[in-house]
Amino acid sequence: MDKIIFKNKGVPDSQNIDVYSDCGGYAVLKKALSLTPADIIKLVEDSGLRGRGGAGFPAGAKWRLLTKYRVKTVYLICNADEGEPGTFKDRYVMEFDPHLLIEGMAIAAYATGAHHGFIYIRGEYDWIAKVLVKAIEDAHSKGFLGSNVMGSDYSFYIDVFRGAGSYVCGEETALIESLEGKAGRPRLKPPFPAAYGLYGEPTVIHNVTTLSYIPFIVENGPQAYKSFGKQMSGGTALFSISGHVNKPGLYEYPMGTSLRKLIYEAAGGIRGGKLLKAVVPGGLSSPVLKSDEIDVEMDYQSLNAVGTMLGSGGIIVLDEDTSIPMIAMKTARFFAHESCGQCAPCREGTHMVFHLVEMIIAGKGSADNIEQILRLCRYIRGSTICAFGIAATLPVEALIKKFRNEFDILLHD
Amino acid sequence: MIDEKMRQIIEGIVKKLPCRDSAVVPSLSFIQKVKGHISESDMEDLAIILQFPQARIFSAASFYSMLKLKPKATYHIQVCTNVACSLVETVTLFDYISGRLGIGEGETTPDGLFSLEAVECLGSCGYAPAMMINTDHYENLSFKRVDGIINAMKEKEGKTIKKTLE
């Protein structure tokens, strides 16, 4: 066995509850209910499981933090807002293995003392929301959810909540605001959701993929999980590979697999036999890597060491004919469009960056404009409430710094 | 205007959730699903049903890109113009559809059948290029397939118009 999330991949009708049960599903929930919540928190902590939404925060630490605040109602939220360009992993889990997610959520809820959970799914995934609603109904009727989960005295309910189109709602506190019926604008932290989350109650939020690793960890133990990857970054990761490759798609590989292997083996190499120019390694908000940097191992530490990040594992491959200024323009446009408008440096700055890049592409830019963009990027970063300011500026900055010549030839003087 | 039947459904949404606050976005999405867009009077009525200030409803309704405060065409085509989708062909899907329908970003065809919008990532990067028409997702598109989809919609509407005339 070399897959965790993909263990049921290719099984016909894998979204069906009976098929999932026949593959051993919900047996782990039964096992979890025989353990104490503290035991489960320990297992997840020892596994070193880190959040797969992009920030990579240790999941066990989130749960541990919650035990400090657990006084009354606790909410569990599954973040299925998957909006990072280049990423399409959560939709696979929800569409083809929804019960894996539900089982993971039920275990996480039991461990953290939550009786009510939400799956916040992006509005565009309408057909997947329907799959989830059906799966939740089926799990209810079989006694895996609801009151007295599997004959225990534990109760857990899940609601599917559809977003309405907002990238920033993937940020956990913006997501909570959206769930509370407000515009999705991130809150100032602290307090963190573990102390003050949904409706002001302690709340634990995890990405779809993070929650889907829980059943494996509880079933096989932390060591089994760690044995997949490297010492510091254990487990596997889902890599969404898109762009100029022969076989774009979703792949599960151990943490620490080299980027070269993912591009040339998993995804079948560059389309049309062309040469590689650059790779965005972890979703659009991660700084770009040049073609001579792709021997990097895909894990948190190795990517940080080369100045970028694992993020959401969304790999966008760019061939030799790609215009880097165009990529910078589309990146800047995306972040200008998605800025929630709360903090002036981000609200104004992202639009200025976009217009400056546009100007350069139109042949009306000067060397000063490039310096202006770099300066704006530095000013926005660190002057905003949420990490959006970092996400918006790092990639544009990296594209300019690593491919400066492509911008320079567009300048009018 | 929210009629009695819709009001009851919205109250059903409220009852299912642990807190009234959470009903705002689902109610707005529901109104849009029924009426195609959310009008000012819809928001005023919703404020009364949910017992929130109108400003709070408007603030949410105007924030989310999928909630539309103005009427759209019968088929609202939303084409992804983000990075991954624009890498597939030299002529982008957006430019192709724009040329095919003779309308630009934010415009509607004279017959009111199609409107076009350039949108950001739809989560289909591995199945690019992608678009949404109303709430339906279309992936792995070729220009030929897009022609087929648009023609089928034209034909369908042609038939409905013919029927009502008869």
Share of chain A above pLDDT 90, in %: 94
Please give the pLDDT value at position A229.
Answer: 83
Cβ-based neighbour number of residue A345 at 10 Å: 17
Please give the pLDDT value at position B159.
Answer: 72
The verdict on a CB contact (< 8 Å) between A85 and B17 is no
Give A249's contacts in chain B (Cβ within 8 Å).
126
Whole-number Å distance between alpha carbons of A44 and A27? 18
Whole-number Å distance between alpha carbons of A109 and A250? 28
A99-116 pLDDT, tens digit each: 999 999 999 999 999 999
Q: Fold match between B4-63 and B75-165?
A: no
The architecture (CATH level 2) of B75-165 comes to 3-Layer(aba) Sandwich (3.40)
Reported confidence tier of residue A412, pLDDT bands at 50, 70, 90: confident
> Mean pLDDT, chain A, as a whole number?
95
The CB-side HSE value for A397 (13 A sphere, CA atoms) comes to: 20
The residue with tokens 């044995």 is A227
Please give the pLDDT value at position B158.
Answer: 82
Please give the pLDDT value at position A413.
Answer: 67
Does domain B4-63 bear CATH number 2.30.29? no
Q: Mean of the pLDDT values across residues A154-169?
A: 96
B65-88 pLDDT, tens digit each: 999 999 989 999 999 999 999 998
**CA of B122, closest CA in chain A: separation in Å?**
7
A129-142 pLDDT, tens digit each: 999 999 999 999 99
Whole-number Å distance between alpha carbons of A247 and A269? 8
Across the A:B interface, residue pairs with CB atoms under 8 Å apart total 138
Give A318's contacts in chain B (Cβ within 8 Å).
87
A52 touches chain B (CB under 8 A): no
Please give the pLDDT value at position A70.
Answer: 65
Reported confidence tier of residue B90, pLDDT bands at 50, 70, 90: confident
Does residue A46 sit in helix, strand or coil? helix
Q: Which amino acid is at A221?
A: G
The CATH fold of domain A239-319: Ubiquitin-like (UB roll) (3.10.20)
Q: Mean of the pLDDT values across residues A303-332?
A: 96
Q: Where are the domains of chain A?
A: 5-226, 239-319, 324-408
ipTM value greater than 0.85: yes
Q: Where are the alpha helices (DSSP H) in A142-243?
A: 172-179, 208-220, 222-226
Q: Mean of the pLDDT values across residues A357-386?
A: 96
Q: DSSP assignment, residue A165?
A: S
Cβ-based neighbour number of residue B132 at 10 Å: 22
Give B60's contacts in chain A (Cβ within 8 Å).
181-183
Whole-number Å distance between alpha carbons of B144 and A399? 34
Q: Mean of the pLDDT values across residues B4-10?
A: 97
Please give the pLDDT value at position A2.
Answer: 79
Instruction: Output the CA–CA distances (angstroms, integers) from residue A25 to A93, A152, A235, in the order listed.
Output: 14, 18, 20
Whole-number Å distance between alpha carbons of A183 and A226? 39
Please give the pLDDT value at position A233.
Answer: 82
Q: Is residue B162 over pLDDT 70?
A: no
Smallest CA–CA distance from B87 into chain A, residue:
A243
Please give the pLDDT value at position B107.
Answer: 95
Q: Are A242 and B129 in contact (CB under 8 A)?
A: no
Please give the pLDDT value at position B164.
Answer: 60
Q: Is residue B161 over pLDDT 70?
A: no
Does domain A324-408 bear CATH number 1.20.1440.230? yes
Smallest CA–CA distance from A325 into chain B, residue:
B83
A216-228 pLDDT, tens digit each: 999 999 999 999 9
Q: Where are the domains of chain B?
A: 4-63, 75-165
**Nearest beta carbon to residue B126 from set A161, A180, A249:** A249
Pick the CATH number of A5-226 from 2.60.40.1930, 3.40.50.11540, 3.30.70.360, 3.40.50.970: 3.40.50.11540
Which stretches of chain B sit within 8 Å of chain A by CB?
16-19, 21-26, 28-29, 52, 56, 59-60, 62-67, 81-84, 86-87, 120-128, 132, 135-137
Please give the pLDDT value at position A333.
Answer: 97
**Nearest beta carbon to residue A162 from set B19, B26, B63:** B26
**CA of B152, closest CA in chain A: separation in Å?**
21
> Can you list the pairs that A33-39 forms with residues at least 24 positions away whose Cβ atoms lie under 8 Å?
A33/A110, A33/A149, A33/A150, A33/A152, A33/A154, A35/A218, A37/A110, A37/A111, A37/A112, A37/A113
Share of chain A above pLDDT 70, in %: 99
Q: Mean of the pLDDT values across residues A2-27?
A: 93
Q: B37, B121, B134, B141: best mutation site toward chain A, by most A Cβ within 10 Å?
A: B121
Whole-number Å distance between alpha carbons of A101 and A384? 33
Q: Mean of the pLDDT values across residues A79-89?
A: 96
Q: Mean of the pLDDT values across residues B102-115?
A: 95
Please give the pLDDT value at position B88.
Answer: 85
Reported confidence tier of residue A230, pLDDT bands at 50, 70, 90: confident
**Nearest beta carbon to residue A181 from set B16, B21, B83:** B21
B38-57 pLDDT, tens digit each: 999 999 999 999 999 999 99
Q: pTM to 2 decimals?
A: 0.96
A242-292 pLDDT, tens digit each: 999 999 999 999 999 999 999 999 999 999 999 999 999 999 999 999 999
**CA of A86, closest CA in chain B: separation in Å?**
5
Please give the pLDDT value at position B166.
Answer: 57
Give B52's contacts in chain A (Cβ within 8 Å).
181
Q: Mean of the pLDDT values across residues A290-308?
A: 96
Q: Mean of the pLDDT values across residues A390-397?
A: 96
